[in-house]
Amino acid sequence: MENKACNKLHPQSMCPAFGGLRVLLRIDGSQLCMAADQGCLYGLTFVSHFYAARRSVVSPELMNVQISGGTMIDDLRRAIEKIAEDPAVRFIPVVSTCVAETAGIAEELLPKRVGNAEVLLVRLPAFQIRTHPEAKDVAVSSLVKRFGAFGEPKKGKTLVVLGEIFPVDAMMIGGVLQKIGVESVITLPGADLDDYVQAGRASACAVLHPFYERTAALFESAGVKIVGGNPIGANATGQWIERIGEALDLDPATVKQVADEERQKARQVMAGFESRMHGSVIVAGYEGNELPLVRLLLEAGLDVPYASTSIARTPLGEEDHRLLTMLGTEVRYRKYLEEDMEAVLEHKPDLVIGTTSLDSFAKEHGIPAIYYTNNISARPIFFASGAASVLGMIAGLIEKREIYGRMKEYFMPTE
């Protein structure tokens, strides 16, 4: 389908740096230090306290006075040293954003270690990184590169699971992997610095989200096998389990048995929803992991005419891209709000799973809409139980369409 020329004005992403802050702020024993100006600091601290961790964000003042005075790097060093006075701090991630990056930070002028704390500079300028999912990749790859114990012997049946997932999903993945004979699992982004150390000793890495390109490349160059895909929907669940088995050289019979079981369980769940899966859905989030959800919806029998995301098309997402395109979904990358709005008008879907901006537009048209980030990312989606959770919510929303119509008519009556 042709790409119409609408005005592309509003890119859809959180501030990219936030993606990195979410990863870094959640590490135990860390105390974040930012190199950022007041406005940047205010906004990023706000969203971090809301969405990342109940932890302080510390920064040396960075305004005209410090920039023109050339004291930025000394101020930063002093702030790092002050943080390190607390012996409980084991890790000081230093995050530099647009203004500090434009002024220029020479990494060699920062310490690598102070007191009990490791110090790591992570550069997250929005003008370069573009989206928050990609900044997660920058943060994770920086951590793995610095701390990964790649020099130590590999542990045979050890798997890194890469991608932020809901805690219940992590439990589920752990359970299934244990069944097929995986001996230990490291989930990244991790809450402990040691997770990043141990990740270097794994023999395979399952990349759940397609934007972890830098991190995947890093593992691959260190001889860690990369497994693509994720256990979302019946077909992919079975396939994913088999791929893990193959990558870790596990007992094929056990792997096949578990894969078949899980595939079957997911099928049963989806069959249970069959009578309620009518209608079309537009998926237009900005988290970078939207396409697997589209795959699940299509497999469950819904129509998904349009899907979009904030990230660029990547090799890790190619499998989904081909499948969805073949099944008739128009896929857009690096999308703008205006493209998504146009798709809503064109397809008049029964449900929109989008960004807050797009959702408000859909609701103005009486269409049920939910924020992908709050409702999909904060919910199990893997295996049979994940499918049940997601499809149950979606069926419920489509069935409530009338409420959305009534509210719309009340506030914006049709002439």
> How far apart are CB 97 and other proteins at their closest, in Å?
7
Tokens describing residue 403: 């409420």
376 binds other proteins (CB under 8 A): no
The site for other proteins, by CB under 8 A, has a size of 68
CB closer to other proteins out of 99 and 159: 99
- Cα separation, 181 vs 19, in Å, equals 33
> How far apart are CB 23 and other proteins at their closest, in Å?
16
45 binds other proteins (CB under 8 A): yes
> How far apart are CB 286 and other proteins at their closest, in Å?
9
232 binds other proteins (CB under 8 A): no
Q: Which of 28, 46, 396, 407 binds other proteins (CB under 8 A)?
A: 46
Q: What is the footprint of other proteins within residues 177-196 (CB under 8 A)?
A: 178-179
Long-range contacts of 344-347 (CB under 8 A, 24+ apart): 344/282, 346/306, 347/280, 347/282, 347/305, 347/306
Tokens describing residue 97: 């954003």
Residue 182 DSSP SS3: coil
- Burial of 179-212, coded b for 16+ CB within 10 Å and e otherwise, reads ebbbeebbbbbbebbebbbbbbbbbbbbbbbbbb
Q: Which of 10, 77, 145, 276 binds other proteins (CB under 8 A)?
A: 10
58 binds other proteins (CB under 8 A): yes
Residue 165: other Cβ atoms inside 10 A: 23
Amino acid (1-letter code) at residue 118: E
- Cα separation, 31 vs 58, in Å, equals 8
CB closer to other proteins out of 34 and 205: 34
Supply angle C-alpha 97, 100, 105, rounded to 5: 110
> How far apart are CB 327 and other proteins at their closest, in Å?
29
Label residue 168 exposed, middle or buried (CB < 10 Å: 0-12, 13-18, 19+): middle
In the shown chain, the binding pattern of residues 65 to 94 toward other proteins, with x for contact by CB under 8 A and - for none, equals xxx---x---x--xx--x------------
> How far apart are CB 243 and other proteins at their closest, in Å?
20
C-alpha pair distances (Å), 303 with each of 67, 205, 281, 296, 405: 54, 32, 6, 11, 21
In the shown chain, the binding pattern of residues 99 to 138 toward other proteins, with x for contact by CB under 8 A and - for none, equals x--xx---------------------xxxx-xx-------
Residues lying near other proteins in the complex (CB under 8 A) are found at 7, 9-11, 13-18, 37-47, 49-50, 54-67, 71, 75, 78-79, 82, 97-99, 102-103, 125-128, 130-131, 167-168, 171-172, 175, 178-179, 355-357, 359-360, 385, 388-389
